[in-house]
Amino acid sequence: MTSLILNKELNGIELYFDEKPLQTIIDSLKNAGFRWHKLKKCWYAKQSEKTLKIAQSITGEQVETITEAKSSTAYFPLYDYIDGSKILKCSNIELDTYNSYYFADINTYIHFYRDSAVLIDLTDALKAGKTCKRYYIEHKEWKNEGIWCDLVNNGIRTFTELYNRTITSLNIDTLKVTTTEEKAINTFSPFVEIKPIKKPEKWTIAHVWKAILSGQIYKGVKDGYYTDDYAHDAAVNFKTGSRIHLPSLAKQVIENPSGWRVHVDKEENGVIQLSFNCYSFDCNTLYFDESCNIQEAQRRKEQEDMEREEYNNKLLAEVKTITENDIEKNSLYTVTYLEMDSNTNKYYKVTELLKGSSLFYEGECDYKITDIQKYNIIDDKLYRVSDFYNRPYFKDDNRLINMGNWETICTGKALKELLLEGYNFPIVRESTEYKTFEQAVNRIQAHLSGNSFWIGEDKTNYRESFNRLMKEVNRAVRVSA
């Protein structure tokens, strides 16, 4: 005799046999996704049309409806994405092969690759000593195309249908499912509620991710991120000061804990600042408050966002309205304007010398100007008009002195003339390296004598530079006298 029991709590189906069934029945159960439970001494599976049909054919019992799935994930996070993956309550949405998802109703993570997909059962996620099933779907024979068409052509149009079919072996001729297991403690799930921790005597990696997911670590700031692409790193200021999406950091640490180190930097007013780094290329500061929770962490973030917006609005209120009629296009101006720090999302003030014509683009001011004053160019002062970071693109002229390594200088007298002639320079700076003519002369003479040189090929004609400099010095001094 065989009895059928529906496990409403786990949305499962259980088959109990008085005697060992025939091998053909065992094979059909396995093919349908049933597994043997050593403790209960029964065959069990998730409820689906296929498993119910098999069970009914064996027992003869009729079950009209499938028990509604009861989610084992009463907890649902406040954040709606994690490391680029969306977090949704319902999986009954159309298949989307361009995004990855965490679904609460089926407690599963689903991610599509170009020609495959992976489903991870999160039932035991973050539990020590447990494992999580990982289903990998791919073509039986290699194809340079995705699997979406194979799924849709076989009636799988939603993520719910994909999940139900996958856990029962899918049964699509062109696709295969490989089932493996991974450590649950290294499998992230946004649907696990983490209890607060007590302030530890010695911090570990586990303390960090638990404190993040419980809300006790309420803020994280990037101190520096370093890759092999130094130019890009420098362009984004090594991400210094950027706000860290803490749940994504927790996921990263849980799934790839190797290389992470943590120590206490300082403690002040009940808040512990933690230095949390991955080797020496990913450096972060985390803020831990034992009394904080998820809701309070969210409130503090919103408060900080509001204060940042107020700060930015205060600076924006200083911006002046400047038109082309207010400036002389060939004159030089000391301009103070607002620049946005893309890491902190806060404005800061920058002051530099700019040519009047460079302030506008198609009639509109290209800068958020808070102050502008016409600059008085001094004839017998040296100015830098290009350097290594702002390389020369302008036409050469006898009044321009090449100092090597893409650095170009000129006298104030020459600068006035060149600006009036329509020259545009990448930068204009009062030279801090050559505050006197003598310093510039000494630099060129050092190159001529071989006492100074640049590493690598240097095609600078320092004799020509010396002659130009002496001529321009005489002109500038004669005028100023």
Please report the pLDDT score of residue 142 as a whole number: 85
Instruction: Write out the two tokens for 403.
Output: 């100092």
φ and ψ at 168, to 5 degrees?
-115, 30
| Per-residue pLDDT, 87 | 97
CA 450 vs CA 94, 401, 402: distances in Å: 72, 19, 17
**Residue-level pLDDT at 480:** 57
303-360 pLDDT tens trace: 999 999 999 999 999 999 999 999 999 999 999 999 999 999 999 999 999 999 999 9
Q: Which two tokens stand for residue 22?
A: 């025939």
Rounded to two decimals, the pTM is 0.77
Sketch the domain layout of the chain as residue ranges.
2-59, 81-185, 205-311, 324-374, 382-480
**pLDDT in the model for residue 121:** 96
Q: Which ranges of the chain have pLDDT less than 50? A: 67-73
Q: Choose among 349, 450, 356, 462: nearest CA to 404.
A: 462
Alpha-carbon distance of 205 to 190, in angstroms, equals: 18
Retrieve residue 351's tokens.
């002051």
